[in-house]
Structure 1
Amino acid sequence: MKPIRLALLTAAGLVLRGVARAQTPEATAPAKAAGMSEQEVLFWLLMGLLGLLLGALLLVGITIVVQMKPQLRQLYDLPTVHNTWSGKVLGLLVGDATLVRGEYKDEMLDHDYDGIHEFDNDLPPWWKYGFGFTIVFAFVYVGYYHLTTKGQLQVAEYETEMRQAALLVSAGSDDPTKLTTYLALTTAADLGEGKSIYTTNCAPCHGANAEGKVGPNLTDEYWLHGGEVNHVYKTIKYGIPSKGMVAWKGKLSGKQILQVTSYALSLQGSNPANAKPPQGEKEVPGGKPVAGL
């Protein structure tokens, strides 16, 4: 008995030491920082209890079906039950999947094509149910979206989302949906600064002479997102993430973006060697911008 008492005393001492350490500020501070709120704890506790309850009910149901399988089989074999829909549902519990798989008649038809024989079997019920569901869904879809016009089609949904997105964007000078009205810079100092910025940041993708590498050629008349100075300015500032064009907003000032934009446009028609084939649409001259930076 002595060793048992000694072991119990040792275990009790370890438990008390653990409780005492847990009550110290050093031990409780990290727990509070990483702990969940009372509502979250209660939510996950209830979810855990619900999961345990559903698991227990499922286990009880399976146990009942297994224990009563002989009686269910006898009930299923009754002629008044076997061919009914409820009887076929009962058949799923005793191992007969006729409700889902259907019945195989194995009656061979009288025609023969290249040695291929065809049996006169119905389509599986699951296929029929699925086909019927698609028909019902088609009528509901056409009625909701095309007849009552309560549902928005793709174009209308896109336009609604764009209007909602515009409400979230500030209407100030930093609005990406508002085109600027800058003039291209032409002084040697501005173009020289633009060339320096281009060489450092743009040449790896567009080439040292803007001939195009990963990015498009900037010296021809074709543009993917507009070749007017304010369109190019917008492309550089906000980028085109879907095509790998990074946004230089926050990395370059507005003056620097206009300088590199002006330098890129000054290379129009320079015809560098190994120029990349044209991409996009040919730029059509439009209205002139009315303001400078």
Structure 2
Amino acid sequence: MRYYPFSWRVAASGAGLVVLAAGPALAQTPETKAGPADSQLLLLWVLLATLGLVILLMVLLAATLVVRLRPQLRRLYELPTVRPTWSGRVLGLLVGDATLVRGEVRDELLDHDYDGIHEFDNDLPPWWKYSFYATILFAVGYLSYYHLAEAGQLQGAEYAAEMQQAALFVSTEADDPNKLTTYQPLTAADDLSSGKSLFTTNCAPCHGANAEGKVGPNLTDEYWLHGGEVNHVYKTIKYGVTSKGMVAWKGKLSGKQILQVSSYLLSLQGTKPAGAKEPQGEKEAPGQRVARL
């Protein structure tokens, strides 16, 4: 049996490990190779892990030094010229004196005596005072940035901008509730008759037989809660107003039937039926309604 020197055996073993480690990489096909984005992401995680390890080692090293040098630090802290200074108070934290955070506790009584209640003359905790100063600085910066320089959006403007951005993701198809139709009112007798029949069957229980208003508002006056132009009325009937109890009719009536009902309602303007409900909403003259077309 032939024996090789130790260095040759180590080199051979290392070469074998390199071959085994490179085997999967050599067998990897072009389709399974990591892309540039994956490589950059992997490199980022490696750098972050390395940075975290370095920070951890530095913290452990600093803690070890503090523990080993604590007697010397204590003697340095006891010096009269060191202890009252800011750096001395920071040094005190390392040796167990929390005066920098807790403040001075003198336990000196003031001359105040209210029903046996005495007041001590102690400082406010520094952490509380510094937090209070930080809130003042933040308030000044906030006021300057948002109200004086007007460089940032206030809550109302920010909400409006977010709603506009959200509207971009809403479908713009024909069934989009944010897209107003461009229909003209129907005037043919058959359409108005059909609209009256549909209204009597479906809408009269809430709005009255003559649209004078019951649970729902009066639909014969010039006041409208959600717009009195035919396309606004069409939209209200189709999608409803769930917050006010108005159901959506888009799954029960066809588009033409909804337009017939809308046109019939506009034909009732100014009829002034008996027992009409008081006006609700905003006044809208016929000219204004036509202008919305």
Secondary structure of the structure 2 residue equivalent to 1:64: helix
Question: In structure 2, what residue type is equivalent to 1:96?
Answer: D
Instruction: Select the residue among 216, 220, 237 that pairs with 2:217.
Output: 220
1:79 match: secondary structure: coil
| Fraction of identical pairs, as percent | 49
- Structure 1 residues 32 and 247, CA gap change in structure 2 (3 angstroms): farther
The answer (yes or no) to whether the contact 2:146–2:154 under 8 Å persists in 1 is no
Amino acid aligned to 1:151 = A
The answer on 1:71 being equivalent to 2:72 is yes
Q: CA 1:96–1:178 in 2, change beyond 3 Å: closer, same or farther?
A: same
Give the letter aligned to residue 84 of structure 1: T
**Aligned partners of 1:135, 1:227: CA distance in 2, in Å?**
51
The residue number in structure 2 matching 1:284 is 283
Partner AA of 1:282 in structure 2: G
SS at match of 1:105: coil
Superposition pairs of residues 147-166 of structure 1, within 5 angstroms:
147=148, 149-152=149-152, 154=154, 157-158=157-158, 161=161, 165=165
- C-alpha separation in 2, matches of 1:164 and 1:282: 26
Structure 1's unaligned 5+ residue stretches are 1-15, 200-206, 212-216, 270-277
Q: What residue number does 2:115 align with?
A: 114
- What's the Cα RMSD here? 5.6
User: What is the rounded CA distance, in whole Å, between the counterparts of 2:247 and 2:115 in structure 1?
Assistant: 63
* Residue identity opposite 2:108 in structure 1: E
**Which residue of 2 is the match for residue 131 of structure 1?**
132
- Equivalent position amino acid for 2:93 in 1: L
SS at match of 1:37: helix
3-state SS of the aligned residue for 1:74? helix
Report the residue type matching 2:59 in the other structure. Answer: L
Correspondence list, 1:2-13, <5 A: none
Separation in structure 2 between the aligned mates of residue 241 and residue 57 of structure 1, nearest angstrom: 61
Q: Does 1:44 align with 2:41?
A: no
> SS where residue 81 of structure 1 aligns?
coil
Q: Is the 8 A contact 2:180 2:235 kept in 1?
A: yes
Name the CA distance, whole Å, in 2 between partners of 1:235 and 1:228.
Answer: 11
Q: Which segments of 5 or more consecutive residues in structure 2 lack a partner in the other structure? A: 1-19, 208-213, 269-276
Contact 1:144-1:151 within 8 A present in 2 as well: yes
Q: CA deviation at 1:111?
A: 1.8
Once residues 65 and 243 of structure 2 are traced to their aligned partners in structure 1, the CA distance between those partners, rounded to angstroms, is: 57
SS at match of 1:82: coil
What CA distance in whole angstroms lies between the structure 2 residues aligned with 1:110 and 1:289?
A: 81
CA contact (8 A) 2:93 2:100 kept: yes
Q: Residue 95 of structure 1 corresponds to which residue in structure 2? A: 96
Q: TM-score, normalised by structure 1?
A: 0.57
The answer for the alignment partner of 1:12 in structure 2 is none
Cα deviation digits, residues 66-93 of structure 1 (max 9, x gap) = 2222221121111111110001111111
Closer/same/farther in 2, CA of residues 237 and 266 from structure 1, 3 Å limit = closer
Amino acid at match of 2:107: D
Q: Deviations over 1:162-185 (max 9, x none)?
A: 797599699x99797764443455
Match of 1:105 in 2: 106
Cα drift, residue 99 of structure 1:
1.0
Q: 1:100, 1:126 within 8 Å by CA — same for their partners in 2?
A: yes
- 1:8 corresponding residue in structure 2: none
Distance in 1 (CA, whole Å) between partners of 2:122 and 2:109 is: 9
CA distance in 2: counterparts of 1:87 and 1:50, whole angstroms: 31
Judged with a 3 Å threshold, the aligned counterparts in structure 2 of structure 1 residues 53 and 259 are, in CA distance, closer, same or farther, namely: farther
Tell me, in whole angstroms, the C-alpha distance in 2 between the residues paired with 1:282 and 1:23: 75
Instruction: Note the alpha carbon deviations across 1:213-248, whole angstroms, 9 max, x for none.
Output: xxxx98314876445443354567789899999999
CA contact (8 A) 1:236 1:257 kept: no
Residue 219 of structure 1 aligns with an amino acid whose one-letter code is G
Name which of structure 1's ranges 89-98 and 217-226 shifts more when overlaid on structure 2: 217-226
Give secondary structure in 1 for the equivalent of 2:283. Answer: coil
Q: How many residues are matched?
A: 244
